[in-house]
Structure formats: C-alpha cells, structure tokens
C-alpha cells in the first residue's frame, strides 16, 4: 500500500459513438478539498462499447492516483454499472468486462482505501469532456466539436497517456521557459567499480574531479547567465556543483534534499552480479516494476514523486531562468523519462555517464522540450 496520507478524488468516464463504435475515455485526479486538477488522462480506444470505455477511464484514473502516491481515493463516475460492480453489489455478467474489473480491483488493492460513488453526468463534465476530446482527436475533428449525442457515458485495452502538453512544430519562445541543465556528478570509486551507490556519501575520485571541471566548462558553454545551481546533498554532487558554480562565477550552490539518489538499501556497495547471486527473485521484481523497492530501500516510484516535486519548485522559483541541477543517475533518468513521455523500459535503456550533461526547457503551460541527453564530448 501507499505510505503517504494523500487523499484524492478520481472522476472518470468513457463513451462510444455507436455501441460499439469509436470510443475513448477520460479521467481527472483532483485534490481532495480544493478540487485542484492534479493529473489528466485521456485516450481513444478504437471501436468498442460504452461500458468497456468507462472501465478504461476508471483504470486510467486509478493509475494516475497511484502515480501521485495517493493513499485514499474517492472515485466518482456517472456509470451506475461500473460503480455498482466495483462496489460488489452487482454481478459482472458480461465476460468482456471481467478482465477490466479485475485490473481495476488490483489497482484498488494498492491503496489504503477506495470509495465508489455515482454522480449525475452534469457533475462529471471534466472527465466527459476528456473522453469526447479523445474521440474527436481520433476522428481528426477540432477539439471541442463533440455533439450532445456523442457524449461519453450511457475487449480493447489502452495504456493511459501522459497529460497533454501543447503541441507545436514551430520553434518555441524561450521568454517564459525555465531551462534545466541536468548534470550527473563526476566519477567516484564506486562508479568505477560498477557498484550500487545510493545514500553512501562517497567523494569524487581524482578522475571525478577532472570530469566535474570539464562538465563545468560545458555548462558555461551552454549559458553563463545561470540563475541558480542546485544539488543533491551528497558530497559527490555538492563538489561537482561547487566546481560548476566556480566556473560560472556568479552563483552559489543550493542543496535540495529531494535530488538525492535512490536508497538502494541492502544492495548499497554491491555489484549487479553480487545482488543477482544473493537476491535473484527480489532483483527480478525490482527490474520489472518501478513500484518495487530493494530490500530496506526505496522504489523508483517514490524517487520520481519527490523529484517531480523538486522540478515544480524550481519552475515556480525560477520562471524564465536557467537552473543547473546536479544529481544522480536515478533522479536524472526519471526526469528525462517524464519529459519524453517514455515508459519505464526507458530507465533500463538509457545510459548516463559520470559528468554527462542533459538539457531541457519547461513552460508554464506544460510544454517541454528536451534539447540534449547525456552530452559527453567535454569528457574526451
């Protein structure tokens, strides 16, 4: 179960234009009490039924709530069928809905508490609009052109999509963007030996010092007009950050605890082969799911949550500024995964060198542009 006390509201819907017909779902996660929208999900489903689309909306909403680390979820839908079936009051007679109900039930088990409530359609407008948007986009119609007869509500499976950011092929303006220059710390003895290095506070090696100075030169080449340099609290990062700040000459280093490396627990200091020999089953589960933590450690899902919070803080504190972020492999990979709207397999396919540099821009409206990933020419 999730360990935080966060309580959210999930409003979900789905529909098809024809039953079956072209279908889509929508879901929103709202902060309990304020009603602030925290996440949105919507996607088209091809040709299927209203009920399948409604279940897909529920599944997408529950997954989004889990991403936020919610402990308690209040689900609100205008589908009497889904609400009654998930509450256990109605039997699931349609065999096509049983796998979807089972998937939703498995997600429900991951929370401390989940409630299901029916609401009239007029109170489910946010999710309804997203479902119609999904169907409109799939049909090539302008967003918002859905007619009342195509309203959502009344077996295809689809993965939830990332919240939609503005899409534009034109070169974006940097006037309102926050630029992040992501730098992995220089090499340590643990890095060179290929050992899990999480919360252990190991210093840079001689080679790592040279790499950090080279990274400082690359950062200065990207921009000398840097607003802030922020760092994980561990020495290998703060030292790298200090060398970068010294090269820039006009900023100091600010420590952000949220940027610390993943806690690898009992695996700290061991090689992958040593972990494979001693914890083969635990390692496989960890590799299969970002929600699984090493024994005594921290899951990537937890790391992602705190890193997202750090980025939100930086964007709010430094609008239209350039921020150097000095951190570790796991946080930087998770930042880039989210920025590129990639799946979890991305984490195992991306390699980040010690003192590698990546650059991305973030806009207030949710737009993101990744400009470079793991630059290393400065290390040669």
DSSP 259: G
The C-alpha atoms of residue 74 and residue 78 are separated, in whole angstroms, by: 13
* Grouped pLDDT means (10 residues each) for the chain, 380 residues: 71 90 93 89 91 95 92 94 92 89 94 93 92 88 43 35 53 80 97 93 96 97 94 97 95 95 96 94 92 94 92 91 97 95 91 97 88 95
Number of H helices, E strands in the chain: 12, 11
The C-alpha atoms of residue 167 and residue 163 are separated, in whole angstroms, by: 12
DSSP 19: S
Catalytic option among 185, 247, 328, 375: 185
Query: What's the confidence (pLDDT) of residue 139?
Result: 82
Q: Is the dihedral angle over the CA atoms 148, 34, 4, 311 positive or is it negative?
A: positive
Contacts of residue 195, Cβ cutoff 8 Å, sequence gap at least 6 = 269, 270, 271
Residue entry with tokens 């984490």: 347
Q: What is the DSSP string of 196-226?
A: --SS--PPB-HHHHHHHHHHHHHHHHH-S--
**Residue 282 tokens, joined:** 């635990």
Is 261 considered catalytic here? yes
Is 247 considered catalytic here? no
Output 346-353 pairs: Cβ under 8 A, ≥24 positions apart: 347/290, 347/300, 348/287, 350/374, 352/184, 353/184, 353/379
Q: Rounded to the nearest 5 degrees, what angle is found at the Cα of 61, between the Cα atoms of 59 and 63?
A: 70
DSSP 18: S
Query: What's the confidence (pLDDT) of residue 60?
Result: 95
Query: What's the confidence (pLDDT) of residue 151?
Result: 39
The C-alpha atoms of residue 260 and residue 294 are separated, in whole angstroms, by: 16
Cα R_g (the chain), whole angstroms: 23
Pairing verdict, β 253-255 and 228-231: parallel
Query: What's the confidence (pLDDT) of residue 96?
Result: 86
Helix 300-317 to helix 50-67 angle (10° resolution) is 80
Q: What is the DSSP string of 70-104?
A: -SEEEEEES-HHHHHHHTTSS----TTTHHHHHHH
The C-alpha atoms of residue 325 and residue 322 are separated, in whole angstroms, by: 10
Pairing verdict, β 178-184 and 37-48: unpaired
Query: What's the confidence (pLDDT) of residue 220?
Result: 95
Catalytic option among 11, 247, 261, 375: 261
Helix 206-222 to helix 235-248 angle (10° resolution) is 40
Chain segment 38-71, per-residue pLDDT in tens: 999 999 999 889 999 999 999 999 999 999 989 9
The C-alpha atoms of residue 154 and residue 139 are separated, in whole angstroms, by: 20
Could you tell me the strand order of the sheet in which 178-184 lies? 253-255, 228-231, 322-327, 178-184, 357-362, 368-375
If phi > 0 it is left, if psi is from -120 to 50 it is alpha, else beta; for residue 33 that is left
Beta strands in 216-354 (DSSP E): 228-231, 253-255, 322-327
Residues 82 and 40 sit within 8 Å (Cβ to Cβ)? no
The C-alpha atoms of residue 347 and residue 343 are separated, in whole angstroms, by: 8
* pTM across the whole model: 0.60
Query: What's the confidence (pLDDT) of residue 186?
Result: 97
């Amino acid at each position: 179960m999730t360990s935080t006390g966060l309580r959210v509201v999930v409003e979900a819907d789905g529909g098809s234009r024809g039953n079956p017909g072209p279908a889509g779902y929508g879901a929103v996660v709202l902060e309990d009490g304020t009603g602030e929208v925290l996440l949105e999900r919507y996607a088209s489903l091809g040709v299927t039924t209203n009920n399948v689309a409604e279940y897909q909306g529920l599944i997408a909403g529950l997954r989004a709530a889990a991403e936020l680390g919610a402990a308690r979820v209040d689900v609100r839908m205008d589908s009497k069928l889904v609400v009654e079936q998930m509450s256990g009051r109605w039997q699931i007679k349609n065999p096509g809905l049983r796998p979807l109900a089972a998937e939703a039930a498995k997600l429900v088990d991951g929370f401390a508490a989940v409630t299901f409530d029916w609401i009239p359609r007029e109170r489910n407008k946010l999710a309804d609009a997203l479902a119609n948007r999904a169907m409109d986009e799939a049909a090539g119609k302008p967003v918002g052109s859905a007619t009342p007869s195509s309203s959502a509500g009344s077996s295809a499976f689809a993965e939830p999509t990332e919240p939609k950011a503005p899409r534009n092929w034109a070169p974006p303006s940097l006037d309102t963007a926050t630029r992040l220059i992501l730098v992995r710390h220089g090499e340590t003895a643990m890095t060179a030996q290929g050992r899990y290095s999480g919360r252990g506070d190991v210093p840079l090696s001689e080679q790592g010092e040279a790499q950090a100075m080279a990274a400082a030169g690359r950062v200065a080449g990207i921009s000398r007009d840097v607003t802030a340099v922020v760092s994980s609290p561990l020495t290998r990062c703060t030292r790298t950050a200090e060398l970068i700040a010294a090269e820039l000459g006009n900023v100091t280093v600010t420590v952000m605890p949220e940027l610390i490396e993943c806690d690898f627990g009992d695996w700290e200091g061991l090689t992958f082969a040593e972990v494979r020999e001693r914890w083969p089953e635990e390692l496989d589960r960890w590799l299969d799911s970002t929600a699984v933590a090493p024994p005594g450690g921290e899951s990537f899902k937890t790391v992602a949550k705190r890193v997202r919070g750090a980025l939100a803080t930086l964007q709010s504190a430094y609008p239209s500024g350039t921020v150097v972020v000095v951190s570790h492999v796991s946080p930087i990979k998770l930042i880039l995964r989210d920025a590129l709207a990639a799946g979890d397999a991305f984490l195992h396919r991306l390699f980040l060198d010690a003192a590698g540099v990546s650059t991305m821009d973030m806009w207030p409206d949710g737009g993101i542009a990744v400009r470079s990933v793991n630059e290393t020419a400065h290390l040669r």
